[in-house]
Amino acid sequence: MNAYTAGTMVPPGLYVRARPFGVSVVSRAPGLLEGPRGTSYVRVPGAAVPLVAVLGLVLGGLYVVLFPVVGTVTLLACGAMRVWRLLRHALALGAPGVAARSSRRARGRMPR
């Protein structure tokens, strides 16, 4: 990848600058690279543009499909953990000896 500065004549293509982020397209051969004086640009190879477009479509599609799935799984997992906690608590209260220990603790005979 070649680096170019703003205000120079460049071959047609897609040019990206890092600070501040921006994209400049030169469609005529040769064209003037616009932007603040002294700003450096990098020319994106022509084969990368369709690749980035396809990658963007794939990632966008994955986001649309997987976002509801992740949300549903998270809600189900949180609900299952809550049910498990309640079930475990209910089973612990029904166990022999637990009620006696809790009543002694309530009367102040048993330290925590």
Measure the CA–CA gap between 37 and 30, rounded to whole angstroms. Answer: 18
Say what the pLDDT of residue 47 is.
82
Say what the pLDDT of residue 101 is.
52
Q: Is the pLDDT of residue 1 over 90?
A: no
Question: Could you tell me the CA-to-CA distances from 83 to 32, 78, 79, 89 in Å, in that order?
Answer: 66, 9, 6, 10
- Domain locations along the chain: 3-46, 62-112
Measure the CA–CA gap between 32 and 27, rounded to whole angstroms. Answer: 10
First vs last C-alpha separation in the chain = 69
Place of tokens 């990368």: 48
The residue ranking higher by pLDDT, 47 or 85, is 85
> How confident is the prediction for the chain on average, in pLDDT?
83
Question: Could you tell me the CA-to-CA distances from 1 to 22, 43, 44, 97 in Å, in that order?
Answer: 17, 6, 7, 76
What size, in residues, is the chain? 112
pLDDT band at 95 (very low <50, low <70, confident <90, very high): low
Q: Tell me: the pLDDT tens digits for 51-80?
A: 888 999 999 999 999 999 999 999 999 999
Q: 90 has which bridge partners?
A: none
Within 6-92, strands assigned E span 9-10, 13-17, 22-26, 31-32, 40-44
The residue ranking higher by pLDDT, 88 or 96, is 88
DSSP one-letter code for 13: E
3-state secondary structure of 66: helix
